[in-house]
Structures are given as C-alpha cells and as structure tokens.
Amino acid sequence: MIDMTLGEVADVVGGRLSGADPRLRVDAPVEFDSRKARPGGLFLAFPGEHVDGHSYVGDALAAGAVAAIVTRPVDGPSILVSDGHAALAALAAHVIRRLPDVFVVGVTGSSGKTSTKDLLAQLLERLGPTVAPPESFNNELGHPYTVLLSTVDTKYLVLETSARGTGHIRYLTEIAPPRIGVVLNVGSAHLGEFGSRAAIAQAKGELVEALPADGVAILNADDPLVATMASRTAARVVTFGAAGDVSASDVRLDELSRPRFTLRAGDASAQVAMRLSGEHQVANALAAAAAALECGLPLPEVADALSQAAPRSKWRMEITERPDGVVVINDAYNANPESMRAALDGLVRIGSDRRGNTWAVLGPMAELGDSSPAEHEALGRAVADSGIDRLVAVGDESRGIARGAAGQDGWAGEAEWVPDAEAAITLLRKEVQPGDVVLVKASRAVGLERVALELVR
Ligand SMILES: Nc1ncnc2c1ncn2[C@@H]1O[C@H](COP(=O)(O)OP(=O)(O)OP(=O)(O)O)[C@@H](O)[C@H]1O
Ligand SMILES: [Mg+2]
C-alpha cells in the first residue's frame, strides 16, 4: 500500500469518515480477514452469507487497523460506503495510477494461471521488486487486493485474472490496466456458466483487448482459440508453444515427472530443468519466459530462474515420497477435464519407474453444467486408457468416473467408488503398498487434500 491519509482514502472510495482524524496515515494493506489486519492498514468488512465482517471490526481495530471500511455504521473509526467491492476497486485503481512506473502483467486462461504467475513472479524478482497474488487471488476481490499490496518500491505487478462471465476480466483490467497480457489456454473450466468454449474465449480475450499499442499480448500458439485472439488486440503479439516465438524442444520428464527442455527464443537457447512436476508446466514456463523476456530478463537468466523456481502455491502436483517409498501426488487444489488429464499423465510417468501400483483417487469436477455427466464418464475412460492400476472415485457426483473406467474394454485395473474422503482414507491405508504412486485430485469444494495429507502424515 502507498502512504495515504484516511481523508484521502474516504474521498477515493466516496465514503463517509467517522470516528477518526482524517489526517491519520494509512500505509499498510487493506485486509478483509480480520486475523490479517495490521497496524497502519485498513479492514474491509463484507456482509457475507455466513459470517458478517462487521462483527470483526473490533478485532481488526484492536490489531491496529487505522479504520474499517463498512457498509453499515459501526462503533469506532470507519468509512461508510454503499458497496465494499466498488470501494476496493476504486482504491486499487487510484493507487495503481499513483504508481505510473509499475509494470502490470495480467495472466489468464482456464488452467495454469496460478502456476504461471508463481513462475513469472520468480522470474521478474530478478529484475526488481515484484508483487504477485497470494494463492489464487484472481477475482473482483483478490485482484484489487493484490494491487493494493504494491508500494512505491514495486517495479512489477503480476495479476491473475479470472472470469466466470463476460465483462469480468474487462472490469479487472479497468482497475489495473496491463502492459503485458498472457493468455494460457481456453478449456472447459466454468463451461457451466459460459455455455460454450467460444464464450469462454470471448471472455478471456478481454485481457488482450485491454492492452495498449505499446503493450505485448503473449498468446499460446498451440491453442487455436487463444492464437486467434491476435486479431483482438492493439498490442504487439508474441507467441509461445511448439510453433511459437518462444518454444521448448527436447522435452523430457525425469522420474518425478519434472520437465527438462531446451528453451528457445529467436536464435538463442538455454537448458531448463524444472523443480515442478507435470508436463503441463512446460507451457506455463514458456508463457512466463515470454513475458520475462519482454521485460528485459536475458534468456540465460530466464532459464536459470525457471530451473530454480519452487512451488509457491500448495496442493498443485505436490509430490511427497514417504520413507516406505510410497509417492503421494497432491493435486487436490482444483480440477477440470484438462487438468485431470495433465495429472493422470504425471501419475503414469512417475509410476512407470516404480514397481508398485498407480492409484488415481479422484473426486468430482464442479461447474461443468450439462456436460458434467459425460465429462465424468470420459475421465473414467481416460483413467482406464492410461493403464492406471487402481481408480478410487470419491463422492456421489464421481460415480460416473468409476462407471466410465469399469466399462472400458481391456482394462486390467480395478475401479472402486467410495462415498467420501474418510472412506477413501480407510481404503488407502489398508491397501496402498510400498512402491505405489497415489494421485489425489478433485474440485476445490470437495476438500480432497485431506486424503493426500493423511497419507503423508
Ligand atoms: N497449462 C496447463 N494445462 C493443463 N493443466 C494445467 C496447466 N497448468 C496447471 N494445470 C493443472 O491445473 C490445476 C490448476 O492449476 P492452477 O492453480 O495453476 O490453475 P488456475 O488457472 O490458477 O486455476 P483456478 O481457476 O482454480 O485459479 C492444477 O491441478 C494443475 O496441475
Ligand atoms: Mg488460480
């Protein structure tokens, strides 16, 4: 956060200040979780469906917050506004305009936004102070929240931008106009809300529509719905992927499915050996590399930083090898059809070097709309086609996965269905043997990470 007075904040958000001196200084971020409130910061109270942030204003003030931004009157120093989201957006838009030298890079796509922004942050940190979202902060709350983490020292601001509908990304780009926009892919995440992939592409493309003529659109050459976004931007276009300006050759996966490859840009090349697992990380790495090269990081440094980059966000292809040799892959952060396939590939790769069974412990994929039953059955068939040894489908909506696998001719593996995470834990505790590899994955709402965490305890 930049240094502002409480009076200025009230003006910017169009709110009414009460109970505090307008000359008080604000110099720490805006928090909407009272447990994170800090001296010098602000607390934003949301009405919330289950918990009302207004009940925590006292806690936040006790923790040192200068004032609370509220939508109904409270005791203590506060700024009363009519809409908390609008207040946050207005403040973020104001702050970023007061920091004209901050270079904003937006990242969007159906899968891999968080993975890519974590890589990109680790590249740009080599060039200067970089702010990037915590976890997967990417919506109308998390995006402006991240903007407000910027300070006068910030040089690069990496933003994850998500959309559940048309206009969502445009809204975010109006808060913080990007100079570089990265579009990773158009998949079927949130197909339920959008209705079609074309509609998803339309929404994701709003990121590159927002770029200025001296900006750069970084587009996936291997995804036709992304490549055609070149016609929707005033910015220069740089592509990544097999036929892209920034590409990877000689891609190999080591015994933990970590990619090694030759990174190419123009005539130059450099070797990369990633610490992250999964072949899909190659595309994410290329996208991050393209953005960092545009910011002026030399190719050898890009390759070195990609090789050093550590996982920053939890439960994404997080691999733990137990003392008894069981490998647990915790990819339970979230799931959609594309990321399920990517994770199954990782499981098969890691299993191929080991003597034990491969286990796919899979829960439902949310938000797929009408295509949901067909997608779950297709996933089951993919499990069987991959030659995975044991499938454990968890939860009611996952019955289709088990059905799809069991119905696949010629599969030598075994499909089981269990009602919940606890039943999965019981089954796995009993049957997983040294040398086995276990993948755990489902949509976020299912909380299947419990299974993975239990297995590595
Ligand atoms: N380029 C990619 N293609 C396919 N799957 C990917 C790709 N990158 C990451 N994944 C997989 O997708 C899942 C989500 O990854 P990540 O959190 O990076 O995506 P996201 O776009 O930020 O998702 P969300 O919409 O939940 O914020 C992980 O399980 C990961 O293994
Ligand atoms: Mg994310």
Ligand whose nearest atom lies closest to the CA of 112: 1
The pLDDT of 388-409, averaged and rounded, is 97
Ligand whose nearest atom lies closest to the CA of 316: 1
The pLDDT of 231-236, averaged and rounded, is 98
Structure confidence by residue, pLDDT tens digits, 155-168: 999 999 999 999 99
Ligand 1 near 162 CB (within 6 A) = yes
Ligand 1 near 182 CB (within 6 A) = no
Question: How far apart, in whole angstroms, are the C-alpha atoms of residue 385 and residue 377?
Answer: 12
Ligand 1 near 337 CB (within 6 A) = no
In angstroms, what is the span from residue 318 Cα to ligand 1's centroid?
13
Question: How far apart, in whole angstroms, are the C-alpha atoms of residue 441 and residue 111?
Answer: 14
Q: Which two tokens stand for residue 238?
A: 């740089």
CB atoms closer than 10 angstroms to residue 51: 11
pLDDT(239) > 80: yes
Ligand 1 near 443 CB (within 6 A) = no
Which spans in 240-336 are helix H? Answer: 280-294, 299-308
Structure confidence by residue, pLDDT tens digits, 30-75: 999 999 999 999 999 998 778 899 999 999 999 999 999 999 999 9
Query: How high is the mean pLDDT of the chain?
Result: 96
Model-level pTM greater than 0.85? yes
Structure confidence by residue, pLDDT tens digits, 297-331: 999 999 999 999 998 888 989 999 999 999 999 99
Question: How far apart, in whole angstroms, are the C-alpha atoms of residue 329 and residue 315?
Answer: 9
Shortest-distance atom of ligand 1 to CA 331: 29
Question: How far apart, in whole angstroms, are the C-alpha atoms of residue 364 and residue 376?
Answer: 7
Spatial contact of 104 and 96, defined as CB atoms under 8 Å apart:
yes
Res. 195 pLDDT band, cuts 50 70 90: confident
Q: Which two tokens stand for residue 210?
A: 């927002």
In angstroms, what is the span from residue 160 Cα to ligand 1's centroid?
12
Ligand 1 near 278 CB (within 6 A) = yes
Ligand 1 near 112 CB (within 6 A) = yes
Pocket test for ligand 1, best of 115, 138, 168, 367 (most atoms within 8 A of CB): 115
Ligand 1 near 92 CB (within 6 A) = no
User: Percentage of the chain surpassing pLDDT 70?
Assistant: 100
Ligand 1 near 161 CB (within 6 A) = no
Q: Which residue's alpha carbon is nearest to atom 13 within ligand 1? A: 339
In angstroms, what is the span from residue 70 Cα to ligand 1's centroid?
34
Pocket test for ligand 1, best of 188, 193, 339, 448 (most atoms within 8 A of CB): 339
Ligand 1 near 114 CB (within 6 A) = yes
Shortest-distance atom of ligand 1 to CA 184: 1
Q: Which two tokens stand for residue 117?
A: 């922004």
pLDDT (0 to 100) of residue 193: 83
Q: How far is CA 293 from CA 71, 261, 394, in A?
A: 44, 17, 43
In angstroms, what is the span from residue 237 Cα to ligand 2's centroid?
24
pLDDT (0 to 100) of residue 442: 96
pLDDT(262) > 80: yes
Ligand 1 near 117 CB (within 6 A) = no
Judged by average pLDDT, the poorest of 199-203, 231-235, 246-250, 316-320 is 316-320
Res. 430 pLDDT band, cuts 50 70 90: very high
Ligand 1 near 315 CB (within 6 A) = no
Res. 116 pLDDT band, cuts 50 70 90: very high
CB atoms closer than 10 angstroms to residue 419: 11
- The 30-31 sheet, strands edge to edge: 16-18, 78-80, 67-70, 42-44, 30-31
Ligand whose nearest atom lies closest to the CA of 188: 1
Ligand 1 near 272 CB (within 6 A) = no
Q: Which residue's alpha carbon is nearest to atom 5 within ligand 1? A: 339
Structure confidence by residue, pLDDT tens digits, 264-302: 999 999 999 999 999 999 999 999 999 999 999 999 999
Ligand whose nearest atom lies closest to the CA of 444: 1
Question: How far apart, in whole angstroms, are the C-alpha atoms of residue 138 and residue 47?
Answer: 20
The pLDDT of 115-132, averaged and rounded, is 98
